[in-house]
Structure 1
Amino acid sequence: MRSGFAGTTSIPAGETRMVRSLRRILAGLLMGLFLVNEAPATDLPTIRVGLLKFGTVNWEMQLLREGLDRKHGFILSPSMLADREANSIALMGGDVDVIVTDWIWVAKQRALGRDFTFVPFSRSVGAVMADPATGIKSIADLKGHSIGVAGGASDKSWVLLRAYAQKTLGLDLAKEVDAQFSAPPMLNELLLRGKLDAVLNYWQFNARLKEKGMVPVISIADILPALGIETPPPLLGWVFSENWAKANPTAAAGLIDASYEAKGIMKTDDAAWSRLRPLMDAETDAVFNALKAGYRDGIPEGYGPTDVAAAQIAFKEMRAIDPNAVADLEALPDGTFWPDFRP
Structure 2
Amino acid sequence: MSIADQQAALDAVHDDPADLPVMRARFEHNGSPRYMLYAIKRLGLDREHGFHLDVRLVSDELEGGMETVEARLQDGDADLIDIDYISTARERSEGAAIVAIHPYGRTVGGLVALDDTDIEGLTDLPDHRIGVVRRLDKNWILTRAACREYHGFDPDVEATPVEAGSKVGLTELLYDGEVDAILQFWPIVPEITERGPYREVLPMAELVQRLSGTDDRLPISTFLTSESFLAEHPETVRRFRGAYRDVVDRLVAEDDLWEEIGETLMTYDDPAVVRAVRDGWRDMVVRDWNTETIEGMERLFDHLLEVAGADALGVDHVPEGTFRPEVEP
TM-score normalised to the size of structure 2? 0.87
Quick check: 1:56 aligned with 2:32? yes
Indicate the residue corresponding to 1:3 in structure 2. Answer: none
CA distance in 2, matches of 1:194, 1:89: 32
Indicate the residue corresponding to 2:310 in structure 1. Answer: 323
1:47 is paired with a residue whose SS is: strand
Structure 1: segments with no counterpart, 5+ residues: 1-23
CA distance in 2, matches of 1:222, 1:135: 20
CA distance in 2, matches of 1:82, 1:33: 16
CA distance in 1, matches of 2:326, 2:295: 17
RMSD: 2.3
**If you compute each CA radius of gyration, which structure gives the higher value, 1 or 2?**
1
Q: Is the 8 A contact 1:48 1:78 kept in 2?
A: yes
Q: Choose the corresponding residue for 2:259, options 263, 274, 292.
A: 274
1:133 is paired with a residue whose SS is: coil
> Alpha-carbon deviation of 1:136?
1.5
CA distance in 2, matches of 1:187, 1:244: 34
CA distance in 2, matches of 1:30, 1:226: 36
Indicate the residue corresponding to 1:188 in structure 2. Answer: 171
Indicate the residue corresponding to 2:278 in structure 1. Answer: 292
Tell me whether 304-313 or 272-281 shows the greater mean CA deviation. 304-313
CA distance in 1, matches of 2:32, 2:210: 29
Residues 277-330 of structure 1, C-alpha deviation per residue, up to 9 Å, x if partnerless? 12111231221111111111112131122321222222223333141344342x
Tell me whether 247-256 or 105-114 shows the greater mean CA deviation. 105-114
Q: Is the 8 A contact 2:212 2:303 kept in 1?
A: no
User: Percent of aligned pairs with the same residue?
Assistant: 26
2:116 is paired with a residue whose SS is: helix
Q: Is the 8 A contact 1:79 1:96 kept in 2?
A: no
Equivalent residue letter for 2:229? W
Change (3 A) 1:174 1:61: same
> Alpha-carbon deviation of 1:91?
1.0
Indicate the residue corresponding to 1:111 in structure 2. Answer: 93
CA distance in 2, matches of 1:312, 1:113: 20
CA distance in 2, matches of 1:31, 1:73: 23
Quick check: 1:92 aligned with 2:74? yes
CA distance in 1, matches of 2:57, 2:300: 31
CA distance in 2, matches of 1:334, 1:285: 45
Indicate the residue corresponding to 2:248 in structure 1. Answer: 263
Change (3 A) 1:313 1:285: same
Change (3 A) 1:224 1:59: closer
CA distance in 1, matches of 2:135, 2:32: 23
> Alpha-carbon deviation of 1:198?
1.3
Indicate the residue corresponding to 1:20 in structure 2. Answer: none
Change (3 A) 1:28 1:89: closer
Residues 211-237 of structure 1, C-alpha deviation per residue, up to 9 Å, x if partnerless? 113222222221235434323421111
Residues 42-74 of structure 1, C-alpha deviation per residue, up to 9 Å, x if partnerless? 421111111222322221111221211100111
> Alpha-carbon deviation of 1:191?
2.3
Q: Is the 8 A contact 1:139 1:217 kept in 2?
A: no
CA distance in 2, matches of 1:90, 1:149: 23
TM-score normalised to the size of structure 1? 0.84
Q: Is the 8 A contact 1:124 1:297 kept in 2?
A: no
Q: Is the 8 A contact 1:160 1:317 kept in 2?
A: no
Q: Is the 8 A contact 1:159 1:322 kept in 2?
A: no
